């Protein structure tokens, strides 16, 4: 019998790519949703090009999926700026990608997951609030209510739903020129969080040993929230 795959959004770079690599190394088939295809992930990886902010394209891609054992929504967008100059178009894009896409993935795929299936959403430590990041924080904070509500609904099927919330992580998004006015702060451990550290936590939440963890937010911040 073919082993069910794990879907990873945003698999072409950053945290999503690290998650895909970690899962492949652990022997899981992985399906990656992203606009561009990552290279060198091997035959157990299947790339499906899709614009996650296009509801019709996403619906079509979801309908074409084979059996899954888990879902990871790692695709993200970061736009920064102070409260007196909000870019509401950017805010809407972040909400659509972080919250609306997560809801669509859960709505379409949770009923198709086997009992004991896994869902992990990538949040952010910034969800608790940070200067210059209000709209980004709002979109990530909304994931908490979504996650806890869906986790309560799916608990009788032993389908877990959790958030992994990294702090400043060494990814291309962290170095995006569009956030130059709001530079990231180095965590107390003296370095940025590594994508592989986030991926390892996600991989654990997808494992059988994490079956009693659901509706939770696990923060990986190098001490920045202390």
For residue 103 the two structure tokens come to 């809801």
Residues 6+ apart with CB under 8 A from 199: 15, 18, 19, 21, 22, 23
For 127-165, b/e burial (b = at least 16 CB within 10 A) is beebebbbbbbbbbbbbbebbbebbeebeeeebbbbbbb
Give CA separation, 94 vs 14, 22, 90, 178, in Å: 17, 26, 6, 14
Question: Which residues are marked as active site?
Answer: 136
First to last CA, the chain: 47
- Structural Rg of the chain based on CA atoms: 17
């Amino acid at each position: 019998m073919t082993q069910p795959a794990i879907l990873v959004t945003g698999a072409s770079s950053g945290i999503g790519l690290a998650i895909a690599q970690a899962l492949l190394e652990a022997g899981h088939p992985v399906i990656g949703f992203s606009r561009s295809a990552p290279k060198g992930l091997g035959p157990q990886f299947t790339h499906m090009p899709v614009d996650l902010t296009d509801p019709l394209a996403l619906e079509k891609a979801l309908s074409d999926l084979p059996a899954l054992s888990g879902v990871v929504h790692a695709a993200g967008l970061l736009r920064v700026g102070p409260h007196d100059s909000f870019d509401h178009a950017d805010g809407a894009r972040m909400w659509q990608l972080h919250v609306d896409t997560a809801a669509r993935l859960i709505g379409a795929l949770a009923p198709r997951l086997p009992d004991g299936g896994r869902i992990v959403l990538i949040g952010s430590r910034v969800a608790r609030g940070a200067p210059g990041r209000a709209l980004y924080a709002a979109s990530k904070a909304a994931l908490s209510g979504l996650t806890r509500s869906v986790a309560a609904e799916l608990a009788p099927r032993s389908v877990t739903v959790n958030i992994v919330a990294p702090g400043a992580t060494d990814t291309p998004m962290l170095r995006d020129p569009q956030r130059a006015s709001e530079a990231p702060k180095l965590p107390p451990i003296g370095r940025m969080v590594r994508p592989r550290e986030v991926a390892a936590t996600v991989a654990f939440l997808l494992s059988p040993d994490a079956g009693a963890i659901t509706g939770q937010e696990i923060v990986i911040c190098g001490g920045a929230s202390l």
